[in-house]
Structure 1
Amino acid sequence: MTQTIAPRVRSLVLLLLAAAGLLLAGAAPASAHAALTGSDPQQGAVVDKAPTQVSLTFSETVSLSDDSLRVLDPKGKRADTGAARNVSGTTYAVKLHSGLPDGTYTVTYQVVSADSHPVAGAYTFSIGAPSSTSVTVSDQTAGGGVVGWLYGFGRYVSYAGFTVLAGGAAFVLACWPRGSGVRAVQRLVVSGWVALTAATLGLLLLRGSYTSSGKFGDVFDLDLLGQVLQTKTGAALVSRLLLLAAAALFIAVLFGAYDKREEEEKRDLTFGLAVGGGVVAAGIAATWAMAEHASVGLQAGIAMPVDVVHLLAVAAWLGGLCALLVSLYWAPAKAPLDAGAVRRFSQIAFGSVVALVATGLYQSWRQVGSWTALTGTRYGQLLLVKVGLVMLLVGIAWISRRWTAQLTDPVTATGGKQRECTKERVTARAASGDGKRADAEDGKQAASRSKRTDAADPKRAAQLARQRAAMDTAHQKRVRDADPIRHGLRRSALAEAGVAVALLTVTTLLTSTEPGRTVEEAEAATSASSSSSSDAGAVTLDMTFDTGGADGKGVVRLDIDPARVGGNEMHVYVQRPNGRAFDIPEVKVAFTLESKDIGPLPVVPDHITTGHWSANGVQIPMAGEWNIAVTVRTSDIDQTTVSKNAQIG
């Protein structure tokens, strides 16, 4: 039975890992964690005279580099004087050259939010009157491309490595000290350390390119690496490497001196190793808490230790589960995993679930903030998926606890089997007494021949001894694997591990997704800004569209200023769902006043720059509630028309 199960187990594990990889590969690029909530001059604004500076306001503090904010004139030349500075709070500004000519200017920004994620974007404003511009803004999403994918994969590997490293070591110390001598368990924990160390080094090298150019060739740029080391994230990654050096010493003791001690000596050493390992594990977990979501926003002083507890609970449960699974399948027959170890792990897993629920509820409240954000933002939707996976995992764990209870019951697990085996032996003796005596005689003769062979050929004797030992080991393994209770526990633990892979993937995606609370705060600030523009006489309309073709989804924003009878200035901005500028083949606008049967009045705006069209002197002949229809064409055959009503005049 074991020979048929093992290939299935390997296939299932490989399938789960492949599915996790595909989920990571197909995930959208990381959303910006600091949203642009305001600017001066505003997007699409036409100012009478050149401003002295351009300022941007974000939803949270950001980190700047020398070229974080740039202002380009219509010919693509720099119009700013240099490095940006913090003006106040979350507002940052860059000064402009004096005597700038009229025309359309492009503002680009590339910053890093306080929770370590890159944020990029661009918009235009005009001095005097709009003009054509030679500036094209790259459609590359901040943190995207090959470097972005590698960085995301490195994050996943680092979480998985920490889980296996910390959880596997905790399983050995708290549940099964004899496991320190099992090669399969040793390889599991060491592989967790190797994965975490390699991923941390990779993230450190990728970080500079990830937050700036996005080019793979810049991964080994020493200047970028030096800049990364001066950031909060760089300090966290270096701290993690130093702690991993201490973890290497811990592993050497755990699988070296600790394994060679007698049982009495192990008890004395276990406490010291548990304290030292706990401190190192908590320190490694803190390197995530000090540089990501927990370090910014509401109640950061409470959120960071809560995040550390959450990560440790995940490692104790899921990492211990991996160690349990390895022990159930690959522990040597002479030293199988005992029922007491399974029972102790069950208790630790239960405590970890309680800690996860408590810390998870706090984190959810802090990051989501409202019921609408729970269902209306990507972060909230991923969180719901995570909650569902945790509930499924708890359900499977409950089944595992039932198998554990049977495994630890001496009557069902051992006594019953012993009685059955005894009955079978008695029946066999009664049915074949003569055969037994004959076998006994044959056995004596074989033993006599074996003794003569041993005396004559020591090498042959050693070979026969090894063969007998291998046969005994194989027999013990067959007897152990035939236990239906142990087999059921294996299957439930394997199912838990499969769900844990998906859970770890969703958790990684959550850490790279903009929290729901931040999304709603940014939208509220943007709405307030748009409302203030409308009060000043301008009209801004946002309309989502879907032409039905490939890459056919987006948002079109239409600005009409001053929205009155007579001549008006109109700007049309087309963006992808992720907020990046979106160039499409054609945009057309039509105005209709249905109450007076006027229109449609067509307007074909001029293309200004990437995702931006403009038209001057748009004539509105009469005040009223106008229907404004925008036709967007994303390919030769894919187009659609979206419309909204607006009060003009």
Structure 2
Amino acid sequence: MTTLPPSVTARRATGPADRPALGPTARRLLSICGALLTALLCALSVGASPASAHAALTATDPADGAVVKTAPSQVRLTFSEGVLLSRDSVRVLDPDGKRVDTGSPAHVGGRSSTAAVALHSGLPDGTFTVAWKVVSEDSHPVAGAFTFSIGAPSKTKAKVPSDAGPDTTVETLYDIGRYAAYGGFAALVGGCVFAGLCRSSRPVQKLTVGGWVTLFSATLLLLLLRGPYTDGKGIGGVFDLGGLGDVLSTKPGAALLSRLLLLGAAAVFLAVLFGSYARRAADADPRRRQDLAFGLAFGGTVVSVGLAATWAMAEHASVGIQSALAMPVDVVHMLAVGVWLGGLGALVATLRAGEPIERAAVRRFSRLAFGSVVALVLTGVYQSWRQVGSWSALTGTDYGRWLLVKIGLVGVLLAIAAVSRRWTARLSDGPAETADETTGETTAQVNEESEEDGESGQDGESGETAAEPADPVRTAQLARQKAAVAKATTLRRRYGDLARGSLYRSVVAEAIVAVVLLAVATVLSGTQPGRAASAGAKASGAIAESTPSVDPISVEIPYDTGPKSGRGKAVFMLDPALPGDNLVHVFLFDRADRPVDAEEVKVSLTLPKKNLGPLPVTLEHLSAGHWSAKSFQLPMGGTWRLSLTVRTSDIDQVTETRNLKIGQ
């Protein structure tokens, strides 16, 4: 067994295969794309949770911070879009933190944008906390809390539960799973189309099967993480089988399960595409091959449309305006992305492996990619209008800004694609082996020489090998040399002519930008659409305008009726301190801040500038040191004079006055 001759090694060292694969400009482009991808992936994994809140709370009954006269029978919440409810979506806690809601929350009047939960009867006075946690119809969780009071605010109130948002670890894994699912879908669909219409090869098969495995694994991960993601539980919630059952009863859970079932059919499709169909490439009966191709085209279309629909039926396209039109448009958009970007990956894999590919096949993919881009642009324009809604939302919302980034990346991708189309036009269908510029020998000749060396080594040592085992060191050395020759052969095929090598470099650049583009698309799918964000802001603004933002008036008034037991302080409260119906509270405390009763407490209000009043307030004694008037009408706003009289005995009383600005 002998080593390869030095002449062969020298030719390999000086041949075009060992020249730099990428020029300085190409390397700089790849470095910039790689840095951009890293930054976007970091943004994807860190993702702020408020941006994922797609349903905004627009109204509550009782209102946030309101003081109601009597205990309500239920609490109602209204959102800017439809929400999905679970058993614990709305929890009402008393001042001690005990739950006072009963039953499961439900939609009101069949409207999915509402949620209501019944309350126990006979609730005491005090401040109650409503903690809510729902899932938007486009699959993203949103949570929050507000308070209201019965009778009068209490000194204590329940704390907002700490599990209001998704667990950080679960959220990060969920975002990674979503990105992997998009990438796997593109590789699966694009690889199948490329193999069926352009060229099927071992590298394309590996890419396509890898896409199937990635999509299946990501979907299974998303299904297991769905419960912890929406409920705010830790990673341990993955093992909660009861939670998994709840997930499967929701629209996002049903979509993920449907995707897994469709991937089962896709596995059969791949087996036929890269098995029976590939073996019949040279079938003597073209009709049989044509029938099989038609069946594959029909079945592949059904499976790919079904897979794309699992996104459309559970995310942005399924909610908002024109959802009946938006979902099929989203399916077309997803398929166009898969055919273009996945096919791009298949072309990169083919060129990288040095597989021979005809110019007609590359041009066929070029036309296919062009059609996909046209569909992508048309559907993207419609989706942008539907999701953004206005020019101001394009720059004033997170969704709009990410959309601008996506549009910019698509522009870069189209520019590189134009370069690739020019190199495609210059491809030739010459032989795979190419001449070495230095020696004039071809790659095939190098391979033949290395094979001859291996054979001569074996023949020359045939006598020795018959008597003793081969030297393992020499065997390993020959294996390394053969691997080097194979690598050189691959590189010569890849860069054997200017057009093929330049096409490979431009397609690699396209693929890198496409990876970044998928990352941005994943971020967009988890960001509240601009139209929904603007609608939520308008709804909140309308509520704020209809309810002036003034705080209830609370005044502390010291009093002293004479004797030692007649010293203390009174707290006067007026809510909402606006013209119209108001709630009045008076609390008396001794010097140790303990509630204390009095023989009589009187309150009146006077508006001197309008010569109005005094208007007496009819107070009802509710409990020790607490008087209240559930309804007191103030005719107008202005600076009113409060007169408070406290009588602690038949002869001991005092009257204190204060000025109150009401409705100003």
Instruction: Identify whether the pair has TM-score above 0.5, normalized to the shorter chain.
Output: yes
2:304 corresponds, among 281, 289, 300, to 281
The C-alpha deviation readout for 1:282-307, integer Å capped at 9, x for no partner, is: 11011111111111221111111111
Partner of 1:210: 229
C-alpha change, 1:516 and 1:560, in structure 2 (3 Å) is farther
SS of 2:547's equivalent in the other structure is: helix
The C-alpha deviation readout for 1:472-525, integer Å capped at 9, x for no partner, is: 884574265242222211221111111111111111111111111111112222
Partner of 2:423: 403
1:61 corresponds, among 82, 88, 99, to 82
Q: How far, CA to CA, are the matches of 2:107 and 2:54 in structure 1? A: 18
Q: How far, CA to CA, are the matches of 1:239 and 1:70 in structure 2? A: 32
C-alpha change, 1:115 and 1:473, in structure 2 (3 Å) is closer
Report deviation, 1:27. Answer: 2.2
Partner of 2:55: 34
Instruction: Check if 1:201 corresponds to 2:220.
Output: yes
Instruction: Check if 1:164 corresponds to 2:178.
Output: no
Percent identity of the aligned residues?
53
Kept in 2: contact 1:538–1:560 (CA 8 A): no
Report deviation, 1:82. Answer: 2.4
Partner of 2:320: 297
Instruction: Check if 1:372 corresponds to 2:363.
Output: no
Instruction: Check if 1:525 corresponds to 2:539.
Output: yes
1:259 corresponds, among 278, 300, 306, to 278
Partner of 2:558: none
1:95 corresponds, among 103, 113, 118, to 118
Report deviation, 1:49. Answer: 2.1
Superposition map of 1:209-228 within 5 A: 209-228=228-247
SS of 2:357's equivalent in the other structure is: coil
Is there any run of 5+ residues in structure 2 with no aligned partner, and where?
1-15, 442-448, 467-474, 553-573, 585-636, 640-660
Report deviation, 1:119. Answer: 1.6
Partner of 1:579: none
The C-alpha deviation readout for 1:122-176, integer Å capped at 9, x for no partner, is: 0111122222335222455533511111111111111110011111111111111
Q: How far, CA to CA, are the matches of 1:66 and 1:465 in structure 2? A: 65
Partner of 1:487: 501
C-alpha change, 1:564 and 1:221, in structure 2 (3 Å) is same
The C-alpha deviation readout for 1:168-195, integer Å capped at 9, x for no partner, is: 111111111xx2xx33222211111111
C-alpha change, 1:529 and 1:469, in structure 2 (3 Å) is closer
Q: How far, CA to CA, are the matches of 1:354 and 1:164 in structure 2? A: 20
C-alpha change, 1:20 and 1:250, in structure 2 (3 Å) is farther
1:505 corresponds, among 512, 519, 534, to 519
Partner of 2:592: none
C-alpha change, 1:514 and 1:404, in structure 2 (3 Å) is same
Partner of 1:634: none
Q: How far, CA to CA, are the matches of 1:139 and 1:380 in structure 2? A: 31
Kept in 2: contact 1:146–1:216 (CA 8 A): yes
C-alpha change, 1:104 and 1:391, in structure 2 (3 Å) is same
Q: How far, CA to CA, are the matches of 1:524 and 1:174 in structure 2? A: 50
Q: How far, CA to CA, are the matches of 2:152 and 2:387 in structure 1? A: 43
Partner of 1:338: 358
The C-alpha deviation readout for 1:414-446, integer Å capped at 9, x for no partner, is: 9xx99x999997xx9xxxxxxxxxxxxxx9xx9
Q: How far, CA to CA, are the matches of 1:369 and 1:16 in structure 2? A: 28
Kept in 2: contact 1:32–1:514 (CA 8 A): yes
Kept in 2: contact 1:185–1:327 (CA 8 A): yes
Partner of 1:113: 136
C-alpha change, 1:568 and 1:459, in structure 2 (3 Å) is farther
Partner of 1:123: 146
Superposition map of 1:318-333 within 5 A: 318-332=341-355
SS of 2:75's equivalent in the other structure is: strand
SS of 2:361's equivalent in the other structure is: helix
Q: How far, CA to CA, are the matches of 2:238 and 2:438 in structure 1? A: 70
Q: How far, CA to CA, are the matches of 1:458 and 1:467 in structure 2? A: 22
Amino acid at match of 1:254: L
Kept in 1: contact 2:83–2:114 (CA 8 A): no
Report deviation, 1:374. Answer: 1.3
C-alpha change, 1:277 and 1:201, in structure 2 (3 Å) is same
Partner of 1:248: 267
1:45 corresponds, among 66, 79, 94, to 66
Partner of 1:308: 331
Partner of 2:250: 231
The C-alpha deviation readout for 1:393-428, integer Å capped at 9, x for no partner, is: 1111111111111225x7xx89xx99x999997xx9
Structure whose alpha-carbon radius of gyration is higher:
2
2:204 corresponds, among 172, 178, 185, to 185
Report deviation, 1:529. Answer: 1.5
Q: How far, CA to CA, are the matches of 2:486 and 2:178 in structure 1? A: 45
Kept in 1: contact 2:247–2:253 (CA 8 A): yes
SS of 1:105's equivalent in the other structure is: strand
Partner of 1:615: none
Report deviation, 1:456. Answer: 6.7
Is there any run of 5+ residues in structure 1 with no aligned partner, and where?
429-442, 541-558, 570-621, 625-645
Kept in 1: contact 2:179–2:522 (CA 8 A): yes
C-alpha change, 1:476 and 1:155, in structure 2 (3 Å) is closer
C-alpha change, 1:480 and 1:503, in structure 2 (3 Å) is closer
Q: How far, CA to CA, are the matches of 1:103 and 1:397 in structure 2? A: 67
SS of 2:104's equivalent in the other structure is: coil
Report deviation, 1:210. Answer: 0.9
Partner of 2:607: none
- Paired residues, what number? 523
After superposing the two structures, state which structure 1 stretch, 372-381 or 134-143, moved more.
Answer: 134-143
Report deviation, 1:564. Answer: 7.7
C-alpha change, 1:457 and 1:235, in structure 2 (3 Å) is farther
Q: How far, CA to CA, are the matches of 2:45 and 2:481 in structure 1? A: 49
C-alpha change, 1:78 and 1:5, in structure 2 (3 Å) is farther
Amino acid at match of 1:34: A
C-alpha change, 1:458 and 1:487, in structure 2 (3 Å) is farther
SS of 2:149's equivalent in the other structure is: strand
Q: How far, CA to CA, are the matches of 1:309 and 1:364 in structure 2? A: 15
SS of 1:85's equivalent in the other structure is: strand
Amino acid at match of 1:373: A
C-alpha change, 1:22 and 1:459, in structure 2 (3 Å) is farther
The C-alpha deviation readout for 1:532-563, integer Å capped at 9, x for no partner, is: 112xx8479xxxxxxxxxxxxxxxxxx99325
The C-alpha deviation readout for 1:328-347, integer Å capped at 9, x for no partner, is: 11134xxx222222111111
C-alpha change, 1:14 and 1:270, in structure 2 (3 Å) is farther
2:409 corresponds, among 377, 384, 389, to 389
Report deviation, 1:55. Answer: 0.7
C-alpha change, 1:95 and 1:469, in structure 2 (3 Å) is closer
Q: How far, CA to CA, are the matches of 2:480 and 2:162 in structure 1? A: 67
Q: TM-score, normalised by structure 2?
A: 0.71
Amino acid at match of 2:82: T
